[in-house]
Structure 1
Amino acid sequence: MSRRTVLITGTSTGIGLATVAAARRDGWQVVATVRDPDRADELRELLVDVRQLDVTDEQSVARCMAGVVRDYGGLDALVNNAGVANSDPTMEMSTMAALRANLEVNFFGVVAVSRLAMPLLRASHGRLVTVGSVHGVIGQPFNEAYCAAKFAVEGFMESLAPVAEAHGVRVSLVVPGFVPDTRFGYFPDVNRHTLHADSGPYADTYADYLDWVGGQGWESAGQPAREVAEVVLATLEAERPAFRVPAGRWAEEYLAHKLADRDGAAVQELARTWLGRGPGPAGG
């Protein structure tokens, strides 16, 4: 491979699209994947390799990985970015099928792509970067399913990281807060009125929550997708990236409400001793 090759999932809009642009600018050979190729017009304008990939379909994942090996000879990095939001106000108002579907994309989809990428990343001593969320550390009211999935991703990657590192692969989580310039969480038929109507006995509490979101909450904490993309790229290219990388000052301060080990270094160092490896190098 004459140039480093990165596969990025969920690239039709938002953080994924911005990460594709940043990686291409910095000389990466980019494989940009989307579930629906009909939504890839902006990607094609970036002149990158656009491929279909549904993270919930194991055969789709396998086909995509096989194609990357065939056409590029291997893989240097994976960025797990694909995800879905939750439009139901509470788990009680949702269905078990909808709750399972959320976990299927946001957690099992990450696992499905990562497990098939790992042999390629071991061969290249590559990087596995996953876009997490502050919701994976601090539970958010009325976001039970999404938070559960992101908590699961945190646990999975934290467990995988020391084992992957022992075999030459660095694993990191980039943790953004609220990113307003994206279609993530956009539901054209869902608005404040419909959400309130669907909230049942929680309607008044949900109205208070929406007031917070629109006031001093996420709206005031927002950062552009390109900012998060630059953090993803810096993590890909760092010599010794941290395990957990807040995507900005607000995310870092928000995580501090709960975490003493903000970048995950203490847990990773402890885990190294369980693998008989001793303390890691300076910088994680």
Structure 2
Amino acid sequence: MVRFVRKLLPRRWRPDHVEIPVVRLHGTIMTGGGPFRQNLSLATAASVFEKAFGDKDSPAVAISVNSPGGSPVQSRLIFRRIRDLAAEKNKKVYMFVEDVAASGGYMIAIAGDEIIADPSSIVGSIGVVSASFGFTDLIKKIGVERRVYTAGKNKATLDPFRPENKEDVEHLKSLQLEIHETFINLVKERRGEKLTDNPDLFTGQFWTGLRGLELGLVDGLGDMRSYLRGQYGPKTRLRVIAQPRGLFGRKLPSAETRMGELGANIAGGIISAAEERALWSRFGL
């Protein structure tokens, strides 16, 4: 309401500062997560993007990224939505890396017209990884017989309770190579001649923000407040655009959902937490 009233005032009476909307993209990138847990995906970020880019008075949108990666699909969907809105609303996009923007987190970061990192941030990891476990010996020891019935010989591909199959692994690697190539092309498209010819650039290796600047992965070093004030003046203000929240900070599910899905949510939450912890741990965080 206050911002609407300001627009009605003569320009000479309006505040002489620039206000920049800020979006925080923090967490592992994956869908789902249960009612008490929310990961980063297009579904969780879309409404915030619309609000931030819908600010007609702001010349830019600032986005802070802190993610070790996750789903390549959700990463690219978020990237695409940012670029589409930037073009539609004619906004410049500044990306600010906090602890880490790696793998899918870096894919999101390259949606920025400029990427600014802390010297000690972790950036890069332009690669694709899949991880699983094998339980074939375990189920034998505890006397469990695995029974799988399929229509189609490949429906049980990479079943963790069956011995590893060479053909399954080769198929998985071929998928990874395709996804990796898509990632590489996206980085080259966005970063262009800024990138160096370092042979490790697309191997999945990761670096500090300081080294990332030398490699062309980022455009500068600094923090959001100082950098934006350097761009738009000392009176620049930052306005954080937050997700709508329910009681206790999250939108709570209905009573039926809480009772009917409690067990599944607990089990899913444990698995999700383990996956998330593994992603963060890869970068020493």
TM-score when normalising by structure 2: 0.31
Greater fraction helix? 1
Q: Which of the pair has the greater relative contact order for Cα pairs under 8 Å at 6+ separation?
A: 2
Max radius of gyration: which structure? 2
TM-score when normalising by structure 1: 0.31
